[in-house]
Amino acid sequence: MSGVRVLVGTKKGAFICTSDGHRKDWKIEGPIFGGWEIYHMKGSPIDSNRIYVSQSSGWFGQIIQRSDDGGKTFATPGSTPEDLVSEMGWPQGESNKFVYDGVPGTHLWYDNTPHPWEFKRVWHLEPSLTEPDTVYAGVEDAALFKSTDAGRSWQELSGLRTHNTGKEWQPGAGGMCLHTILIDPMNPERIWVAISAAGCFRTDDGGKTWKPTNKGLISNFMPVPDAEFGHCVHRIASHPSKPDTLYMQKHWDVMRSDDGGDSWREVSGNLPSDFGFPIDVHAHEPETIYVVPILSDSEHFVPEGKLRVYRSKCGGNEWEPLTNGLPQQDCYVNILRDAMAVDRLDDCGIYFGTTSGEVYCSPDGGDHWNPINLHFPGVLSVEVQTLP
């Protein structure tokens, strides 16, 4: 029977949880990289043994780790003795070298003054759907990097940051991060990214040029609520079979696009709050989507002390709360933007982790929930690999 491997990034290390297809009994390994913040870890869709990890710390900066044996061992890419010596005899060791292309210039700071572009960390790693050694990294301050040597070295796709709007991008409360990377499974040259708080952008030429794709978004905190850019997009998601249909959880509002992001419409419908961070799509039902509303931008916890995942089976507007197995009183947690995932087993599993360290799994599309573990450090990211 096939199984799953859940990759959990936390504020204090990484954990790997494995189970068979029943997703009832779990083996938990970790902490890996104990004491470090693990913003994201994600497996290659081509090679399930390959896992990329973003490991960072306020003291020591950014580290990239890679496993080629399904998480049994990790190493910084290019750190074998033969890797480390270049033709010049100087160690390379550049897997954590994220340097902006050219003179970085400035973006706007919170107070509207120019602020130098400064690399802080990798928020999201997105392995290519087709090339085993290609992986993208979304970073703070917002930029997109690409590696074609499995993380040994990184080059910025600077057409995004140097877009003519880039000088006016501003950070959200969590920093100016590029947190979402969606690759079109039918056209690897077409990629969407989302930046807090610059909005959604799309390239149709593999990252050379980009266009803002924010038409239809309304952000009332902005001087021009329907501006071309500047929206605090929290996450976007799509189903592989319908790449033109995108779903978005924005700072406020759940949105939908059916034209590849060229235009958006609101589908918040009957949600108790349309503020939240994660959004994801059922593996086999392109119109079934999941969000976890929280109370507001000022109160980052679920409403009424009830942890409820909301599901829409019709692509938005009509939502139902999913509560079976989730705490329904005195619960005040948040779920961060990369902390929800779906597996691809026949009965699609849904997973999420909370800021209080709980990770839940629903093996039946959200109808019933069981904890994988209730006592991890605060969860930053959850990804799942469906194993053969």
Partner 1 sequence: MSSVRVILPYHLRNLAQVGQEITVQVDGAVTIGSILDAIELAYPVIRGTIREHGTLKRRPFLRFFACAEDVSMEGYDFVLPSEIGDGKEPFMVIGAIAGG
Considering beta carbons, is residue 62 or 165 the nearer one to partner 1? Answer: 62
CB of 37 to partner 1, least distance (A): 11
Q: Is residue 84 within the footprint of partner 1 (CB under 8 A)?
A: yes
Q: Is residue 94 within the footprint of partner 1 (CB under 8 A)?
A: yes
> Please, how many CA atoms are within 13 Å of residue 259, restricted to the half-sphere of its CB?
8
* Burial of 39 from C-beta contacts in 10 A (0-12 / 13-18 / 19+): buried
CB of 208 to partner 1, least distance (A): 23
Q: Which two tokens stand for residue 252?
A: 């406020």
Task: Specify whether the CB–CB gap between 177 and 138 falls below 8 A.
Answer: yes
196-216 in b/e burial notation, b at 16+ Cβ within 10 A?
bbbbbbbbeeebeebebbbeb
Q: Is residue 61 within the footprint of partner 1 (CB under 8 A)?
A: yes
Considering beta carbons, is residue 62 or 214 the nearer one to partner 1? Answer: 62
Task: Specify whether the CB–CB gap between 217 and 199 falls below 8 A.
Answer: yes
Q: Is residue 96 within the footprint of partner 1 (CB under 8 A)?
A: yes
Considering beta carbons, is residue 57 or 130 the nearer one to partner 1? Answer: 57
Considering beta carbons, is residue 61 or 225 the nearer one to partner 1? Answer: 61
Contacts for 59 with CB less than 8 Å, ≥ 6 apart:
none
Q: Is residue 158 within the footprint of partner 1 (CB under 8 A)?
A: no
CB of 159 to partner 1, least distance (A): 20
Considering beta carbons, is residue 144 or 200 the nearer one to partner 1? Answer: 144
Q: Which of 10, 19, 62, 196 binds partner 1 (CB under 8 A)?
A: 62
1-60: contacts with partner 1 (CB under 8 A): 35-36, 57-60
Considering beta carbons, is residue 55 or 219 the nearer one to partner 1? Answer: 55
Q: What single-letter amino acid sits at 161?
A: R
Q: Is residue 373 within the footprint of partner 1 (CB under 8 A)?
A: no
d(CA 338, CA 174): 14
Q: Which of 91, 102, 132, 225 binds partner 1 (CB under 8 A)?
A: 91
Considering beta carbons, is residue 100 or 264 the nearer one to partner 1? Answer: 100
Considering beta carbons, is residue 93 or 240 the nearer one to partner 1? Answer: 93
Q: What single-letter amino acid sits at 240?
A: P
Considering beta carbons, is residue 120 or 306 the nearer one to partner 1? Answer: 120
Q: How far is CA 373 from CA 70, 124, 379, in A?
A: 21, 23, 11
348-387 in b/e burial notation, b at 16+ Cβ within 10 A?
bbbbbbbbbbbbbbbbebbeebeebbeebbbbbbbbbbbb
Q: Is residue 156 within the footprint of partner 1 (CB under 8 A)?
A: no
Q: Is residue 153 within the footprint of partner 1 (CB under 8 A)?
A: no
Q: Is residue 116 within the footprint of partner 1 (CB under 8 A)?
A: no
- The span of 87-95, 121-129, 224-232, 267-275 binding partner 1 (CB under 8 A) equals 87-95
Helix ranges (DSSP H) in 38-160:
81-84
CB of 93 to partner 1, least distance (A): 3
d(CA 30, CA 260): 39
Considering beta carbons, is residue 84 or 173 the nearer one to partner 1? Answer: 84
- The span of 1-9, 91-99, 181-189, 335-343 binding partner 1 (CB under 8 A) equals 91-99
In residues, how long is the chain? 388
DSSP output for 97-124? ----SS---EEE-TTSSEEE----EEEE
Phi and psi torsions of 351, nearest 5°? -135, 145
Q: How many residues line the site for partner 1 (CB under 8 A)?
A: 21
d(CA 326, CA 343): 19
Q: Which of 28, 47, 97, 215 binds partner 1 (CB under 8 A)?
A: 97
Q: Is residue 99 within the footprint of partner 1 (CB under 8 A)?
A: yes
Q: What single-letter amino acid sits at 227?
A: A
CB of 125 to partner 1, least distance (A): 17
Q: Which residues bind to partner 1, rule: CB under 8 A?
A: 35-36, 57-63, 76, 79, 84, 90-94, 96-99
